[in-house]
Structure 1
Amino acid sequence: MRTQLIGKIEFDQVRLSADLDRSLEVTYAEPYDEFACGRPWKSVMLLAPGGGEGGVLADFDPRRPSAFTKAGEHLPYIQEIIRDNFAMEHVTFARLVALTDGVLVPHCDYVEMSTDVERQRIAHRVHIVLSTSESAKFNETDSVYRMREGEIWAIDVTRPHSAGVIDNTRRVHLLVDLAYVDDAADLFTFDADLSGNFPQANICDRPTLSDAEREGILSMSSVIDEENFMQVMGLVVRKHYRNDGGPDFVWRSMNEIAERSGNSTIVKMVSDLYRHTNIVRIEGAHRK
């Protein structure tokens, strides 16, 4: 499914707040540290094939039937949200993801899915926004937008995307991965709007990046090194959330910073990170 707003939930705020408090008691993984600039992107599996523990989708055998994990059983209202809104026979994974004061490298998901079974069982991703603020933003290709609390979004994670929170807000989303079916409407038990709805009101109005600002970003070529590489990447991503720098701003800027640096190691780090996050997961392409 392409990225679109497909529905909205009116939460029981008392029960949701109780579950979000309880969610602080469960053990989160930090599975994609190479994607994170700033504080880590954290996740905890609530439902997975076999109901066991793991940090990333590749830890599980998608041929096994899915069941709630111990963490999922600990959060009864969030478990109810899943049961009430999705056809459970088609739900492969569900997890909470939390992000605070950090941004993610623009990346594509599912590139590590190598078999037909995996691709069939993990075909669609849906975000339900449990807790957020105006400082929490999402990016797909060159668009930056906000997902509002209670909204249900289908996300085309095969396209380059990232997320960011630029203050100390704890943004919590429920991510649900769904199997392929002939009619996507069969995945949901609510009346999902699959018309491609992408409200203009959700799109962030970003001023155009000035020439001086662009040169300031590129001037980091004089200080970038192996130790501060991800900090520089984070500053570029954060700028993308605030200003419109044109097509493919983040990777275009990082490539130019690397070339200007004259450091072949930095050039290779940018190339390796792009390939790892957007084309194929590569061992050894993590941050230095």
Structure 2
Amino acid sequence: MVTIGWNAQRFPGASDHHVLEEISLLKSERLAVLPIDSYDLGPELSIVDEHEYGGEYDTFTFGSWSSHVLANGSGADSDVAFRPHEGSLSLTELGKRLPTIMSLVAAHFPLDRLQWVRIFALREGIIAPHVDFLEWAKPGLRVQVPLRTSEESLHSENDTVYHIRRGEVWKIHSTDPHSARSTATTARLSLCLDFAESEEPLAIRGDVPATQPVLLPERPEVGAAELEELIDSGRHFTPETMRAAFRPFAALHFERRAHATAAFDWYLEAARRTGDEDMVAKAQAFRRYCIEKRGDGEAFVW
């Protein structure tokens, strides 16, 4: 659990009560801060910018989001669908081209439990609220370390929205509904490390003291009129536009005080205004796929 002793900071306009309340509810945790400026990452981040993405997780994403695998269980560039695995970690061709980033990983993290090394790129995009590891009985431990970011890039968990600074190591509580959004035109690039044994402490080496508080953006309450306008947009849904129409529903909880899963409640109500039972069923199925139940390798078809 994140401790209040972090001296959480809100963007302008927040009350102390709301700051402490949200931090106390946040299950994701800042584990450490890395000396990120000790690494010359610029040339390798440019390689990631140019690297192609196969669209494995397009169901969850809107705008520009991509996943780039540096190391996995097989070493194959085509092996991009996350899953737990046994055995050693192997570099992909992309990972071999990024020795500085991989040296950062090796210098600061235990490699014996490490199963996947990826970089997530997010630019003018959003990830639908979702729960990770639904496909497997035993979740792993996932951490993210932004290598390039700005305050326009945000994460969310349940009711709370927060910003992860460059070089901060965050344990992401992936089994509660969570999301991410960036409105920046330059891609946020975040190192994602997946470890086996989620209950075991993660020994991080060579970190530096955290000197800055956690950043929480101020979010006013949802206005009745704006919410009604959003839900009433469902009257214009068609089977062809339903997918794209979900994006503003997912975005609203980054701007207003609302739970991440409220996006699905609003979206379902909007779908009901079509009077089309098939579209209502599709909205219900999308909620189930994102946050309730899905099988290993199961794909959602719009």
CA distances 1:33-79 after superposition (whole Å, capped 9, x unpaired): 1101223x211111111322312114xx7123112221111111110
Q: What is the aligned counterpart of 1:50 among 62, 74, 83? A: 74
CA distances 1:218-275 after superposition (whole Å, capped 9, x unpaired): 1112111211112221011122211224573211211211222221111111111111
Q: Which runs of 5+ in 1 are unaligned?
A: none
- Distance change >3 Å, CA 13–CA 238, structure 1 → 2: farther
- CA separation in 1, counterparts of 2:69 and 2:63? 22
- CA separation in 2, counterparts of 1:25 and 1:285? 28
Alignment match, 2:269: 256
- CA separation in 2, counterparts of 1:278 and 1:109? 8
Alignment match, 1:189: 205
Quick one: percent identity of the two aligned structures? 25
| C-alpha displacement of 1:144 | 1.1
Q: Is the 8 A contact 1:48 1:67 kept in 2?
A: yes
The alignment partner of 2:129 has SS state of: coil
- Distance change >3 Å, CA 48–CA 79, structure 1 → 2: same
TM-score, normalised to structure 2, is 0.83
Residue 75 in structure 1 maps to residue 98 in structure 2: yes
Q: What is the aligned counterpart of 2:160 among 143, 168, 176? A: 143
- CA separation in 2, counterparts of 1:97 and 1:246? 24
- Distance change >3 Å, CA 94–CA 249, structure 1 → 2: same
Stretch of structure 1 that moved more, 162-171 or 24-33: 24-33
Q: What is the aligned counterpart of 2:196 among 179, 185, 193? A: 179
Q: What is the aligned counterpart of 2:54 among 16, 25, 29? A: 29
Q: Is the 8 A contact 1:38 1:231 kept in 2?
A: no
The alignment partner of 2:130 has SS state of: coil
The alignment partner of 1:100 has SS state of: strand
- CA separation in 2, counterparts of 1:57 and 1:21? 24
Stretch of structure 1 that moved more, 82-91 or 160-169: 160-169
The alignment partner of 1:261 has SS state of: coil
Q: Is the 8 A contact 2:72 2:117 kept in 1?
A: yes
Stretch of structure 1 that moved more, 8-17 or 215-224: 8-17
| C-alpha displacement of 1:27 | 3.4
Residue 103 in structure 1 maps to residue 126 in structure 2: yes
> Cα RMSD (Å) of the superposition?
2.4
Alignment match, 1:18: 43
Q: Is the 8 A contact 2:156 2:180 kept in 1?
A: yes
The alignment partner of 1:106 has SS state of: strand
Alignment match, 1:219: 232
Alignment match, 1:85: 108
| C-alpha displacement of 1:151 | 0.9
- CA separation in 1, counterparts of 2:159 and 2:276? 28
- CA separation in 2, counterparts of 1:200 and 1:261? 45
Alignment match, 1:285: 300
- CA separation in 2, counterparts of 1:227 and 1:93? 35
- CA separation in 1, counterparts of 2:229 and 2:52? 40
- CA separation in 2, counterparts of 1:192 and 1:277? 36
- Distance change >3 Å, CA 68–CA 246, structure 1 → 2: closer
Q: Is the 8 A contact 2:89 2:115 kept in 1?
A: yes
The alignment partner of 2:287 has SS state of: helix
- Distance change >3 Å, CA 246–CA 34, structure 1 → 2: closer
- CA separation in 2, counterparts of 1:99 and 1:246? 22
Alignment match, 2:34: 9
